[in-house]
Amino acid sequence: MDKNNRREFLKMSILGASGAALLPGSVKASSGDFGSAMRMSNLPERLLGKTGIKIPLISMGTGGTTNSGFVRAAYDSGVKLFFSATYYGNGNNEILVGEGLKGLNRDSFIVGTAAIPNGLDKRSGLLTNEFTADGYMKVAGESLKRFGLDHIDIVVLPYAAKKETVQHEGVLKTMEQLKKQGKVRFVGISSHGETVEALNAAAETGVYDVAMISYNYKIQDKVLLDAAIANAVKAGIGIVAMKTTAGAYREKSGPQMNSNAILKWVLQNPHISSIVSGMRSVEELQKNLAMIQDLKMTDEEIKALSFNVPGATLYCQQCKQCLPQCPHNLDIPTLMRSYMYAYGYKNTEQAWYTLAEAKLSANPCNACDICHVQCASGFDVKSKIADIERLRNVPLDFVVA
Ligand code: SF4
Ligand code: SF4
């Protein structure tokens, strides 16, 4: 089946009969197609905590990238930090990043990855008996091989939420070993939810150098989160922000959001060293790099953030309040993340893998006439689950670009 037919098949599967949603797309061009990326010199930088490294305010989250040429284009445009994960594309994303940076001066870029240990129960945020420090070392070692580098600059423990996990003896031992063996320069956590607890726990250890956290204009409990960020920064932890667009710019066919306003809002916090942006086109890359030249928000941008379009956000706070409310035990936070990747970020591959994590049974919500879940973000979770669960019917071959 050719690419056009594949795309059409995917479109029909995920959009359903209404066809009302946006088609999740992907970057498919060869490296030559990115040749027009314009070099932006003197990008504004901030210090990344006790690492002592200075990085531009925009970094690249590579999860949405399917072309190593685009990684190189971002590098050529001045981006220094590239962040992947062991679970993006089942490890293939790390290979792609390594290819994109191959042959470059090793000191001229920074590579990070979220290395997920065996035995991490994402739903509870706790480690099970399956976790071992040796196993975690192996996970990080495999990641290093995939990048094809002599070392990784930053390895983070993903889905960090609970103090017990962040301060787990085996995790800390692994992190220290990785550094000692020279495989990794800096270690950290990444957190989508329960971030206050995770940050405070990380700050207490003295081990972690970096924290990658969800931070956007839709976050609840901003006061508490900002205090935890300040506490972590005081402990020398460099903060990198992710999920900064709060689920991207639109809900299905809804209005576009002002991306400059959304990203500038994040950088108003001086403790945020950089934004890890899941950029997917040269235009987006250049727009972001131009944006960081002047962080002062215009009246129009301030207004754009207060413009509350009903249903316009796809951002799930990952607060887990829905979990005990669902009598059928659905992993709703994971499903909502998958929904956001598909309909917001238009990253079908990441949505597909995330959906698989939720381990849905057939017809997951059919037993309920009405949904019992009162979502903290006001989502109609039943309807969103119906929209995203169709992606299960799409074979992975059709999703990966
Ligand atoms: S209650 Fe809503 S916002 Fe909170 S985790 Fe569940 S779906 Fe996400
Ligand atoms: S309809 Fe609501 S309560 Fe019922 S299974 Fe779906 S998410 Fe759970």
User: Is residue 327 predicted with pLDDT exceeding 50?
Assistant: yes
- Say if CB 45 and CB 53 are below 8 A apart: no
Of ligand 1's listed atoms, the one at least distance from the Cα of 336 is 7
In this structure, the residue with its CA closest to atom 6 of ligand 2 is 365
Please, what is the average pLDDT of the chain? 86
Structure token pair of residue 127 = 């480690």
CATH superfamily of 35-306: NADP-dependent oxidoreductase domain (3.20.20.100)
Q: What is the pLDDT of residues 22-78, one digit of tens each?
A: 233 333 334 455 554 455 568 999 999 999 999 999 999 998 888 899 999 999 999
Q: What is the pLDDT of residues 270-286, one digit of tens each?
A: 999 999 998 888 888 99
Q: What is the pLDDT of residues 119-164, one digit of tens each?
A: 999 888 899 999 999 999 999 999 999 999 999 999 999 999 999 9
> Long-range CB contacts (< 8 A, 24+ apart) of 162-166?
162/124, 162/125, 162/126, 162/194, 162/197, 162/198, 162/201, 163/197, 163/198, 163/200, 163/201, 164/126, 164/127, 165/120, 165/125, 165/126, 165/127, 166/198, 166/201, 166/202, 166/205, 166/208
DSSP character for 32? G
User: Is residue 17 predicted with pLDDT exceeding 80?
Assistant: no
- Say if CB 113 and CB 92 are below 8 A apart: no
Q: What is the pLDDT of residue 9?
A: 40
Of ligand 1's listed atoms, the one at least distance from the Cα of 335 is 7
Helix, strand, coil % in the chain, rounded to nearest 5? 45, 15, 45
- Record the pTM: 0.80
**Residues enclosing ligand 2, CB less than 6 A?**
326-328, 330, 332, 364-365, 368, 371-373, 381-382, 385
State mean pLDDT over 246-257: 59
Ligand 2 site-directed mutation target among 368, 380, 387, most atoms within 8 Å of CB: 368
Of ligand 2's listed atoms, the one at least distance from the Cα of 328 is 5
List, in sequence order, every residue forming a beta bridge with 157; answer none if it has no partner.
Answer: 189
In this structure, the residue with its CA closest to atom 2 of ligand 1 is 375
**Residues enclosing ligand 1, CB less than 6 A?**
316-322, 332-333, 336, 375-377, 379, 381
Q: How far is the CA of 366 from the centre of ligand 1 (A)?
A: 20
d(CA 259, CA 278): 12
Q: What is the pLDDT of residue 51?
A: 96
- Say if CB 322 and CB 358 are below 8 A apart: no
Domain ranges, ordered by start, for the chain = 3-23+316-399, 35-306
Q: Pick from 301, 396, 281, 286: which is nearest to 346 by CA? A: 281
Q: Which of 1-5, 110-114, 315-319 has the lowest mean pLDDT?
A: 1-5
CA 396 distance to own-chain centroid: 20
